[in-house]
Amino acid sequence: MRLQTAVHAVFPPECLCCGAQVETDYAICGPCWLETPFIHGASCDICGVPLPGRGDDRPIRCDECLTFARPWSQGRAVFAYSGNARRLILGLKHGNRAEVARAAAPWMVRAAGPLLGPRTLLVPVPLHRWRLLRRRFNQSALLAHALGRAAGVPVAPRALVRARATQSLDGLGRESRFRTLERAILPAPGHGAVLEGRDVLLVDDVMTTGATFAAATEACFLAGAANVSVIALARVARDT
């Protein structure tokens, strides 16, 4: 504790968004917090997208999840993917800002809520080995480990594997995303068996159409998972 106090005296904690001085590490200042699009009200029980209204205990579904069947059972997200949330995720993903994952842990615990149980196993969405080599880390694994530590839930970071490299999904439409990811994610040889009979919570940084989560969910069921839910740090709304 004394060491931390001494460090803070020399290097005061800074807001993750704007760099202003804050009281604790891994925090957001008050003004930035108010401008960060946390999902507090109603949201889709399946994909986590924010919906109009205050929300209550009844599960509701967005139009997209009423139209297209999802292979997983429930889904949550912490942010809408815009503004400060987008900047935080881009910093985590491309700016080597691993501290964002640590800051996100309590936010993800609150968002996950009833999806966390005694049989839950956290599984990050995998990167292909060549992309992992270039980036040097998997941001989804950082989030899964941070969530696991905060919630006391085990993590299986090697349970799934990207069986083949795929093109970037940026700019692709819904059908192209699903077609690109078909059977691109599989149970990892020698590690996928850990999923058998478990309640899996898949973890990723951003959900857009849900194609990546769908491919990962199918891989979990192929490995014998009993149930699969998903959580993303941010959800891209249809009008963004």
Distance of CA 176 to the CA centre of its chain: 22
pLDDT at 48: 95
The 3-state DSSP class for residue 159 equals coil
pTM, full prediction: 0.90
| Cα distance between residue 216 and residue 234, in whole Å | 17
Give the tokens for residue 214.
């769908």
pLDDT at 6: 42
Do 84 and 35 contact (CB within 8 A), yes or no? Answer: yes
The DSSP secondary-structure symbol of 125 reads P
Do 205 and 139 contact (CB within 8 A), yes or no? Answer: yes
pLDDT at 168: 67
| Cα distance between residue 17 and residue 4, in whole Å | 22
pLDDT at 167: 62
| Cα distance between residue 92 and residue 108, in whole Å | 15
Q: pLDDT truncated to tens, each residue of the chain (240 aa)?
A: 444 444 444 468 999 999 999 988 999 999 999 999 999 889 999 999 999 877 667 889 999 999 999 999 999 999 999 999 999 999 998 878 899 999 999 999 999 998 999 999 999 999 888 777 777 889 999 999 999 999 999 999 999 999 887 766 666 677 778 777 788 899 999 999 999 999 999 999 999 999 999 999 999 999 999 999 999 999 998 653
Partners of 17 in the beta sheet? none
Residue tagged 């507090």 (tokens): 40
| Cα distance between residue 15 and residue 27, in whole Å | 6
| Cα distance between residue 217 and residue 204, in whole Å | 12
- For the sheet with 227-235, list strands across it: 75-80, 227-235, 199-207, 120-124
The 3-state DSSP class for residue 83 equals helix
pLDDT at 3: 44
- CA distances from residue 115 to 47, 108, 142, 143 in whole angstroms, order as listed: 13, 11, 19, 16
Distance of CA 122 to the CA centre of its chain: 11
pLDDT at 176: 78
